[in-house]
Structure 1
Amino acid sequence: MVLEIEHPSAYLDKSLVTRIRNVAHEAERACRLQTDQLNIIYEQGWFKMYVPHEFGGLELSLPEILRIEESLAWVDGSTAWVVTLCSGAVWFIGFLDDTISNEYFHDKNVCLAGTGRATGIATITEHGYEVTGHWKYASGSFHATCFTANCLIYKDEKQVLNDDGSPLVRAFIFKKDEVNIVERWPAMGMLATTSHSFELKNVSVPANRSFIIDPLHAKLSQPVFRFPFMQLAETTLTVNLSGMALRFIDLCEDILNDENDKNLVKDKFKHSIESCKRRINDLRVLFFTSAEAGWQSIVAGDAIPAVILSEISEASHSLAQGSRQVINELYPYCGLAAADTTTEINRVWRNFHTAAQHALFRNNIS
């Protein structure tokens, strides 16, 4: 028997929900998060959810982080996406040289933006690297104190390869004043995420600002830094989609209960809403159960068994796809209100379909 799982509204203070939503439309119009939204993020420490206490972070477990991110996505997609992507980059503290962590991460407003694509070149020099590159889609770029990016490694004008012949890729952290933000984020949704591009040209970077994102290379001992990166990315991005889908359902119920709307096929709409709520509940139960199982393995000091990793990935993609199906099923019932770009339901629809275009979700479309 599949159990009920709490709605995301149970995990955030109502006053925070109101404050974030009150300026969500203005944030979209201005194409950046508003001061009050950012102040809440800093006050709550959400950019530092993974960061150990010794660096002023919250040091939360992954299940706790997933609950917060899903709740934020239910509140406002752009706010949640910035928190998810930027806190996810701050997770790299677990793999950085101690001197870098001590220099950058005690800042209470620390925020990292970056991208996983290896579209830069880092040439080995006597003192470290010389980096040139252009990277797209660095969510939170306007608020970032540092940037991270992957680079292909070159030495003496030749590309460096791994033992198996594949290109050697290393991750780097850059100071804000070393990068040039290229304002190019033309998406239909997630407009307030400032997911712009950035670039560097012939920037000298010391060797200790390069790092390897792999549990075997973790510098800090907290369990979260031993959680595999792929499943970490899948789970944290998925809850953004489920949170927005749940908000879409809420807004559909508002339309259903509008006594002034005489054009609704109310019985069919009500049946679809109830069906969608049950389906997404069941998928969320499986998702959070698998994520918890993986987390408990890590806490116990063990590697997550392959079967559980597979279950986490499968549950993530199932919930992402189920969230897409829910929104697509309910949208036609919502009339022109859902097509009006000034309404919240339209903003949620655009935000969802923009976020759902992330590369992690593109291989599981059905």
Structure 2
Amino acid sequence: MTHPALAAVEERSEEIAALGPENERLGRLADEAAKVLRETGAIKMLQPADYGGAEAHPREFAETVMRLASLDGSTGWVAGIVGVHPWEMALCDRRVQEEIWGADNDTWIASPYAPMGVLKPVDGGYVFNGRWQFSSGTDHCDWIFLGGFLGDADGDVVQPPRNYHVILPRADYEIVEDTWDVVGLRGTGSKDIVVKDAFIPEYRAVPFSRMTDGSALRESGRTNPTYGVPFTTIFPLGITSAVIGIAEGALAAHLAYQRTRVQITGTRVKDDPYVLFAISAAAEEIKASRIAMLDNVSRFYDKAAAGEPVTLADRAASRRTQVAAAWRAVRAMDEVVARSGGNGLRMDNPIQRFWRDGHMGLAHAIHVPGSVFHASALTDLDVEPPPGPMLSMI
């Protein structure tokens, strides 16, 4: 059975796709595009029911993000990132949940999580400073998660570093305009954020370790298995699902264009066995990426439902699957784009926008394969990877 949010996306698919060029022109989601996205309910799929959310199966969330991204990459990307934040907020202190959703449970939360700030301890909390890049969808959000390290009384980072997710209202940070001029995903409006001497009460500074060791879940009282999926599986899910959806969109645009295309040689594409072979091979690779992502998160959901423990090796393998799925989908997209001809890359053809968006999405730090594959191989050999960057998102 189709989730209501996905059904709503299908009902408004033409509208979402038509707004893609305007999103790109503005360098952020157009107000109308954000309104449509809000009305589909996609951002509230992982939000807790006590604040108007659907508490959906994460597989359903991924399917919805993929479909959105196949219509417009930027819309799908914002849904994939902003849509994960209610999942984390559900595990945070109930006081901040009430601050954000008590008056309006349609309030959106931005990020990024990269630890580019420092928390300086003071009475009752911390003073926070820093600058961050890549805050996707931030113009339409009223709160934000920002990554930071714990500092000492002088503001120097405590060693070994202790990573926190810090929660701030819009009044406590600045969105820096004209900081998002990139080749792809232009419509995401992933601008810089600056925080200067913001006071953070203790309950709005969450040690990242609490998300990975299960203590946040235990203390939250949440029982839906969706909240038992590891953070390092659920956060990449939204991003990689968007990349896979973008590849699906490129394939669909390519097929629509090729149906009537005649090559310069006079051969119709539908009579060219070499192009047809490439299309089919790419379609299967993209489908394999989709299946891998959906199966991966479903297995973790089933583990949570059964109360089974999740090991470091499980989490490392999950990240390996996620990274490989993104690269597989983009490589396959390249194969069909390369066979779209010169006219397929004109700026009025959506193929080129999907192509640019897909490569921009692949460049996200969550898709860097080196340390992930290294850590996963070590765990397969029963060797625990050393702490530090190799384990930062496993």
| TM above 0.5 | yes
The aligned amino acid for 2:241 is V
1:168 and 2:162 are equivalent in the alignment: yes
- SS of 2:117 mapped into structure 1: strand
Aligned to 2:198: 203
1:52 and 2:48 are equivalent in the alignment: yes
1:255 and 2:257 are equivalent in the alignment: yes
Distance of aligned partners of 1:225 and 1:54 in 2 relative to their CA distance in 1, 3 Å threshold? same
Whether contact under 8 Å (1:42, 1:108) holds in the other structure is no
Distance of aligned partners of 1:82 and 1:22 in 2 relative to their CA distance in 1, 3 Å threshold? same
Distance of aligned partners of 1:93 and 1:326 in 2 relative to their CA distance in 1, 3 Å threshold? same
Distance of aligned partners of 1:158 and 1:212 in 2 relative to their CA distance in 1, 3 Å threshold? closer
CA deviations over 1:328-350 (Å, ceiling 9, x no partner): 22222112233322321111111
Whether contact under 8 Å (1:231, 1:309) holds in the other structure is yes
Report the alpha carbon displacement of residue 278 of structure 1 after superposing the two structures with TM: 2.0
Report the alpha carbon displacement of residue 274 of structure 1 after superposing the two structures with TM: 0.9
Q: Give the alignment partner of residue 298 of structure 2, picking from 292, 296, 299.
A: 292
Whether contact under 8 Å (2:8, 2:40) holds in the other structure is no
- SS of 1:199 mapped into structure 2: strand
Aligned to 2:386: none
Q: Give the alignment partner of residue 125 of structure 2, picking from 124, 128, 147.
A: 128
Aligned to 2:377: none
1:119 and 2:116 are equivalent in the alignment: yes
Tell which deviates more after alignment, 98-107 or 275-284: 275-284
Distance of aligned partners of 1:54 and 1:212 in 2 relative to their CA distance in 1, 3 Å threshold? same
Report the alpha carbon displacement of residue 196 of structure 1 after superposing the two structures with TM: 0.1
Aligned to 1:87: 83
Aligned to 2:280: 274
Aligned to 1:33: 29
1:24 and 2:20 are equivalent in the alignment: yes
Point out where structure 2 has 5 or more consecutive residues left out of the alignment. Answer: 374-394
Distance 1:66 1:341 in 2: 29
Distance of aligned partners of 1:141 and 1:158 in 2 relative to their CA distance in 1, 3 Å threshold? closer
Aligned to 1:43: 39
Distance 1:324 1:141 in 2: 26
- SS of 1:181 mapped into structure 2: strand
1:230 and 2:236 are equivalent in the alignment: no
1:337 and 2:343 are equivalent in the alignment: yes
Over aligned residue pairs, what C-alpha RMSD do you find? 2.3
1:356 and 2:362 are equivalent in the alignment: yes
Distance 2:293 2:155 in 1: 44
Distance 1:156 1:35 in 2: 43
Whether contact under 8 Å (1:12, 1:71) holds in the other structure is no
Whether contact under 8 Å (1:122, 1:130) holds in the other structure is yes
Aligned to 1:216: 215
Aligned to 1:100: 96
- SS of 2:151 mapped into structure 1: strand
Report the alpha carbon displacement of residue 210 of structure 1 after superposing the two structures with TM: 1.1
Report the alpha carbon displacement of residue 310 of structure 1 after superposing the two structures with TM: 4.3
Distance 2:200 2:155 in 1: 19
Distance 2:20 2:243 in 1: 17
Whether contact under 8 Å (1:12, 1:68) holds in the other structure is no
Distance 1:327 1:169 in 2: 36
Report the alpha carbon displacement of residue 306 of structure 1 after superposing the two structures with TM: 5.2
Report the alpha carbon displacement of residue 105 of structure 1 after superposing the two structures with TM: 1.8
Distance 2:261 2:82 in 1: 42
- SS of 2:167 mapped into structure 1: strand
Distance 1:310 1:316 in 2: 10
The aligned amino acid for 2:182 is A
- SS of 1:150 mapped into structure 2: strand
- SS of 1:95 mapped into structure 2: coil
The aligned amino acid for 1:233 is F
Aligned to 1:180: 174
- SS of 1:115 mapped into structure 2: coil
Superposition TM-score, scaled by structure 1 size: 0.90
Alignment of 1:4-15 (within 5 A): 13-15=9-11
Distance of aligned partners of 1:208 and 1:197 in 2 relative to their CA distance in 1, 3 Å threshold? same
Distance of aligned partners of 1:240 and 1:100 in 2 relative to their CA distance in 1, 3 Å threshold? same
Distance of aligned partners of 1:168 and 1:286 in 2 relative to their CA distance in 1, 3 Å threshold? closer
